[in-house]
Amino acid sequence: MPLLAHISELRRRVTVCAIAVAAAGIAGFVLSDIVIAAAADPLRHVEGPSLAGLNFTRIGEAFDLRFKIALTLGIVLAAPVWIFQGWAFLVPGLTTRERRGGLIFVATAVPLFFGGVCFGWMIVPQIVTLLAGFAPAGSTTMLTASQYFDFLLKLMVGIGLSFVSPLALIALNAVGVLSGRAIVRGWRVALVAIIIFSAAVTPPADLLSMLVIAAPLCVLYCGTAAWTYLHDRRAERRGRNAVDSPR
């Protein structure tokens, strides 16, 4: 296809994705009351210091919050559409082996991401209870709705991405770009990157949330290093057997 045809194809697929996100976003706006109630539920179970409910400090903050929830749910609910459109745009330029590997990557990455998001949602009550428990006796913790939902979204999306990140290293190893030994030797760089990433997706000065995200990332990195190292060993063994077999 000529360049203009590629651009036209990309524009068409982006338009389809935008329509899907907008339609799902309308559904997300309708469901925003349920999401707000479910997200605020952990606040009602905090024991100890008095914890105020969600506060709106600006007259338009409630609408901004609903719009943010609608946009987030729109992107999530429309994920099958924009993943398929991105895949369909790339497929014509891929070989059979690359298509097979891409399908395995997508089929694994999507459940891992949603599994990470669900894990983040499950630990939110414990994190809220623990963080609110550090307030001195007799004090009142004032929460703005925007800050609280930014905390939730960053935490869950960050954990979701942390569950998917090992697949990128495995993919680079599978195509021969990154060896298992290089991944093992690069643990110091990986540790710094994990800390920076964890700090970026959590609220400022929230050390506990940063550790909650960094800990599984470190475990997943160790598992990825072991997997890629064994994969390289098996590939080297198959290569030696292929060389020796004609003899």
The structural domains of the chain, with segments of one domain joined by +, span: 3-236
pTM, to two decimals: 0.69
- Percent pLDDT > 90 in the chain is 6
Alpha helix (H) residue ranges in 175-206 = 180-185, 187-200
**Structure confidence by residue, pLDDT tens digits, 39-52:** 887 777 666 555 66
Placement of tokens 């030696």 in the chain: 240
Cα distances (Å, whole numbers) of residue 164 to 113, 211, 222: 6, 18, 14
Q: What is the pLDDT of residue 45?
A: 66
Measured between alpha carbons, how far is 32 from 44 in angstroms, rounded to an integer?
A: 19
Q: How far apart are CA 161 and CA 190, in angstroms?
A: 15
What does the mean pLDDT of the chain come to? Answer: 79
Q: How confident is the model at residue 18 (pLDDT cuts 50, 70, 90)?
A: very high
pLDDT at residue number 103: 77
Contact 32, 77 (CB under 8 A): no
Token pair listed for 76: 């999530």
Question: Over the stretch 192-225, which tens digit does the pLDDT of each residue have?
Answer: 988 888 777 666 556 776 787 788 888 888 888 8
The torsion angles phi and psi of 179, rounded to 5 degrees, stand at -85, 160
Quickly state the pLDDT bin for 16 (edges 50, 70, 90).
very high
Q: Give the SS3 label for residue 58.
A: coil
Q: Which of 20-34, 159-173, 225-239 has the lowest mean pLDDT?
A: 159-173
